[in-house]
Structures are given as C-alpha cells and as structure tokens.
Amino acid sequence: MRLLLAVMFFLFNSSVAVAQAGIPVRAGLSLHEGKTLYRMGEPIVLDLAFTAIEHGYSLDRTVTSPASPIDTFFLSPTTGVFPWLDDQARGRRYGPDYAGIEVLDVDKPSTVSLTLNGVYRFDAPGHYKVHVVTNRVSSGNSPHLQRLDPLTSNEVEFDVEAMSDADEAALAASLEQQIREATNRQHAQSLAEELDWLSGDASTRAKLSLYLHPKTFYPFAIDVTRGLWIARNRTLVVAELERALVDPGQSLSAGISLLQTTVSLKARLTVPYDPATPDRPLPTEQIEGEYLHQIAATLARRTGQSLVTAAQPLFVNLTQQKETTGNDFAAAREVLISHFAQVNEYSVDWLLNGYGTYLQDPRMVPALETILQTQRKPIMAGERAAALAQLLKLAPQNARSFVIDEVCANHPARIDAFQDAPFDVLPETDECLKDRIHVDAANAGHARVELQQKTALAARFATTAIYDDLFSLYEKSGVYWDAQARGGMLAYLMRWDPPRALPLLEAALPLTAEQFDQNVSFGLLSAYYSPGLEAFFRDRLARGQAAQAQTAAYAMSRYGPAADQDILLQRLNRWRKEWPGKEIPANEAVLERELVIAVVHGKEWKLPDAQVHMLREACISSVCRSWFQTQE
C-alpha cells in the first residue's frame, strides 16, 4: 500500500449524513482487539476500517490530539457522559492544515484507530452504543483530491463499569512514580497519556502534581494538560491552579502555560457548557486581568526563576492588551530588564522579536553580550539573532566584534539580524566568508542553506578584496548552486563592480523570460540592494515583461530611494495610456495594481491621501479596481 505524505488544506465537514448509495468504499467499525468491557478511565479504542471495492480512492489517515472533527462519534445514551472536548473547543474544534494520504487498494482494508475518550468522558457505568460518521475518504489523485460525502459506519456496543477510588488512587500513584523515574521522554509521555483518561480526584491530584512540578527532559516537560481538562472535579483543578499562580515559590513556566490553562478552565467553570449554545461568550479577558493583577502583587516576594517566570507572562499579556502605562507592567518590565540573564534560552528570541521595543534599556547590554559570548548551539541561532539585533539597537559601539564572530560562525544567525548594523563593510570577515563559500560551494547540494547564508553575508559585509576570487568561483560552479545562493552572490558582485557582474545577472534573470526566477530575486533583495541593482530594476521596470516589471516595482518601492516614486508614477501613467479600450491580459492587470501599490507605499516616501485616492479611482483594470475596493 502506497503512503503519500502531502501537505494540503482541507475543509472538514463534520455534519452527520447517511452514506450515499453506490460509493464503493465501506467504513467498518470495531472495538480494538475485540474488547467490550472497560473500566471508567480506561481508553476505549475504536478501529475504523476502510475498504475500497474499486480503484481511485484515498484515505486521510491523520489522527490528531485534540481530535479533529473529520470524525463525528454518535454515542448513546449520552447521560453519564460529558463531551469534554466540545467544552474545551466551544464551537472552535481544531482542524489540521496537513494530511497523511494513503491510496486505498481494492479489497484490502486500511484501519485508523480512534480513542473515544479523546472526545467524551465517561462518568457513569452503563451499556453504550456508538457509530462514526467520517470524512476521511477522497476520490481522484493527489494533489487533486475530491472529498467524498461522509461515510457512516456500523454501530458497536460496549460496557463501562466503575473503577473504585482505591484502584484509581493506586493506579494514579503508580503512573506518577513511573513518569518521575522514567529515563525516556517518549515512554514517560505515553504513561502521562494513560493518566490523562483517569478522571477522579486521586488521579487529578497526581496530574496537578506533574503539571505544577513537571518531569522534564530539557527543554521539554511531560504534558498532562489534557488530563486537567478531562478531570471531573474542575473546581478542585481551578482552585489548585489559582493557588499556584500566587504562590511566590511556584514557577509560572510549569505546565503548558499555567496562566493560560487556569484562565481557560476558570472561564468554562464560570460559563458551563451548553451544547445548544456552544459559542456563548466567555469572560476570558476579565478573568485574565484579575489573575495578572494578583501575579503582579506577588513579584516583591519572588526570587530567582519564580520571579522571572512570573514577570514574563505578566509583561507579555499586558503588552498584548496595550496596557503598558500601569504599575503592573512597569514592575514586570523592570524584572525582565534587570534579570534578563535568567530568562530561559528558549524564550529569548520570542521575547525580543515580539516585545523588544519595550525592552530597550542599556542595562540589558551585559546579558545580551553574555548570550552572544556563550551560546553556540546551532539550534539556538534564533536566540543569538535576537540578542544581536537588540544589542545593535542599544549599544552599536559594542557590537562590532559580535557581528564579526556571528558572520564567521559555521551556523550564523539570519541575515535580518544584521539589518541595523552601522558598519558598511567588515574587512575582518573577508577571509572567513571566502573560505566558507568555497567549502559550501563544493558541497552545494547538501550545504544549500549554509551557502544561502554566507553569500548573503558576503553581499552585506565583504569588501572588494575577495571579489576576483568569488567572481571566478561563481563563473565556475554557480550554475550548480541553489537559486537563493546565486542571488546572494550576484548581490555581492553587483555591489562592487556592476559592469562586470551585469552579464551574470542578466543570465540569471534574462530579459526574455516571462518572469524572474523568484528564488534568485529573493536572494538578491534579501542580501544587499546596491546602486547597481537599483539600475537593473529600473531597466526591467521600463523594458521587462509585465511580471518582471511587477517585481521591479516592488523592489524599488521597498528598497529604492525617494526618486523612484516619480519613476514608478511615470511607468504607471505610461501603462494607463497604453491599455484603455483594450482587452487587458491578466499579467498586465496585475502590473497596474502593483504599480499603484508601489507609488503609494514606498519605504522612502508618503503620498498625500488625496493623491492616493485619485490613483486608486483611476484604475482601468478590474483587478486593480477590485483590489482597492476590498482595502477600503
């Protein structure tokens, strides 16, 4: 059976429908391993087997947690059963934007296993029946699959019996002990998933213990969040989480977002689930605001990680709410600035990239420098990039040696980390860049990303001292390079000797082509926009085919000088004189729209509102008119 893994977007239809007669795929439901008796808190696994009786059908095998609405369970009776997942989702069930697709072979069943407890919690013993309506089957071939109407399975029956409090307590204690003693993360997480399904008070306390004081395999913690949602005694869960939020000794990085989990559970405790109105508004903002104020009041009594992990969600949430003038925000900001060295390494780039504007304080410089001096893990390039970008804002005079080190590193930060560097060139990087580019070019197939990075950095920082060498290397082997790497190298060559490099650029982006190679042009524009490139794009704006002119217009508005606005306006006027009364090809219509956008939204200019309105109103093509109508 062939397994085709494809990334695709699907619209999941979870409405109940009877299988259409004549559809040559059967959906057969059975209880896993023939089991028909379960204790409460024991996973009820259903095997859904799909059998095609003719060719041309495929199965979506994707199983997610939380369960997506691609399958709908119809359970009876529903008394003594709680739809915990619907309570959590409140009308917004998760649906993945990917799918694992398998071609169904004729008369050969393919089985997907589903856990009923992932949707329902069983609170009472009884005899139950269930069938499934599923949207997993499609016709046609990937990537042009057509989802079939829902298939309805047969019904299966099973019994649920009570588990004594003593038995559950013993099982929960055993599972917690095994999790804490585990030496393998995957094994520990499987034990946690077994604990999740238990719902009594004894298991809930074990889950809370693991949530608030997690078993970790750094940087990952064993996750029992789902188990807190499944717990019957939500009042107990919320009370314990609320206590933890204001405990000065409790790290708020425990669990999967302690603050957010507490807010979400308290909101649903306040507004109980009603299937008739699943999307009733929840008092989330009010509850979160109260918790944030309570956390702020504890900062003075916290120390170490407890202090930093309390200040971080306080700072982030208040920033997101644009409440940045009050005492609570000021206190959280002060903690992060003065204790930034204690921020977890996996949070540094997120904090600085998302909220660095509020952390521009010279007292952070030593912590940033320490990160750049000590953090060399390849996986932490994002942290170094964020620290370097922040350092360049706060103390550019301190940053030169760090920029040189980063440029010459085997796994440097992204090029955008250097955009604010106040150095036009760094001669100290010439030799390391040249040597590394040679090494990566010799292994261009496997060092694709590294070659992209180094050529872009050469365009940004290298001098003319290595020009002849890199020119010769590109002539010799550039044809074998990744397109973005070629773009980066062409940006370097065009920066220092445009007449010599122009034939190479023309070969990479020929005038006769309908459009630019988008990867080459991306490499060019993300590396270094020089006067040589400016002249090239001005020429293509004037002489290139419509799609080339579109890219040129974007480049000039995004990177060009203020004088480009008039050039773009002249090109727009020329276009509008050429096309009235004619049938406008799609590419030309898009060009009109892109020219208007470029004239209006240049980086180095701002057009008065009245002129913007006139340019939009003068649109000739329907593409241009409809675009700006939707923007108003």
- C-alpha to C-alpha distance for 180 and 262, rounded to whole angstroms: 24
Residues 6+ apart with CB under 8 A from 66: 85, 88, 89, 93, 94, 118, 226
Q: Which of 530, 531, 441 is nearest to 486 (CA)?
A: 441
- C-alpha to C-alpha distance for 435 and 454, rounded to whole angstroms: 10
Count Cβ atoms within 10 A of the Cβ of residue 132 and give its class: 0-12 exposed, 13-18 middle, 19 or more buried: buried
Output DSSP code: residue 105: P
Classify 468 as helix, strand or coil.
helix
Output DSSP code: residue 28: E
- Residue pair 568/553 in contact (Cβ under 8 Å)? The answer is yes
Owner of token pair 């409809």: 626
Segments of the chain with pLDDT less than 50: 1-21
Sheet holding 57-60, edge to edge: 3-6, 99-103, 57-60, 137-141, 144-147
Q: To the nearest 10°, report the CA torsion of 502, 506, 507, 510.
A: 180
Classify 441 as helix, strand or coil.
helix
Polymer length in residues for the chain:
632
Residues 6+ apart with CB under 8 A from 149: 17, 19, 20, 23
- C-alpha to C-alpha distance for 576 and 298, rounded to whole angstroms: 65
| Residue 121, strand partner residues | 82
Q: Which of 349, 355, 391, 394 is nearest to 373 (CA)?
A: 391
- C-alpha to C-alpha distance for 369 and 367, rounded to whole angstroms: 5
Residues 6+ apart with CB under 8 A from 34: none
- C-alpha to C-alpha distance for 599 and 194, rounded to whole angstroms: 60
DSSP string, 352-378: HHHHGGGG--GGGHHHHHHHHHH---G
Q: What share of the chain is helix, strand, coil (3-state, %, to 5)?
A: 55, 10, 30
List the domains of the chain with CATH numbers: 3-162 (2.60.40.2970)
Quote the longest CA-to-CA distance of the chain: 86
Residues 6+ apart with CB under 8 A from 391: 365, 368, 369, 372, 398, 399, 402
Tell me, what's the pLDDT at 543? 96
Q: Global pTM?
A: 0.81
Structure tokens at 350: 């997120």
Classify 517 as helix, strand or coil.
coil
Query: Residue 215, Cα to own-chain centre: how many angstroms?
Result: 26
Q: Map 469-507 to HEC letters.
A: HHHHHHHHHHHHCCHHHHHHHHHHHHHHCHHHHHHHHHH
- C-alpha to C-alpha distance for 60 and 68, rounded to whole angstroms: 12
- C-alpha to C-alpha distance for 225 and 387, rounded to whole angstroms: 32
Owner of token pair 């440029």: 407
Tell me, what's the pLDDT at 465? 98
Structure tokens at 474: 């590109």
In angstroms and rounded to an integer, the radius of gyration of the C-alpha atoms of the chain is 30
Structure tokens at 535: 């002249």
Q: Which of 418, 409, 408, 410 is nearest to 387 (CA)?
A: 418
Q: Which of 373, 369, 361, 269 is nearest to 315 (CA)?
A: 361
Question: What separation in angstroms does the CA of 239 have from each of 142, 204, 208, 398?
Answer: 50, 12, 11, 49
Q: Cis ω on the peptide bond leading into residue 219 (within 30° of 0)?
A: yes
- C-alpha to C-alpha distance for 468 and 458, rounded to whole angstroms: 13
Structure tokens at 425: 């060139």
Count Cβ atoms within 10 A of the Cβ of residue 393 and give its class: 0-12 exposed, 13-18 middle, 19 or more buried: middle
Q: To the nearest 10°, report the CA torsion of 314, 317, 323, 324.
A: 60
- C-alpha to C-alpha distance for 353 and 246, rounded to whole angstroms: 28
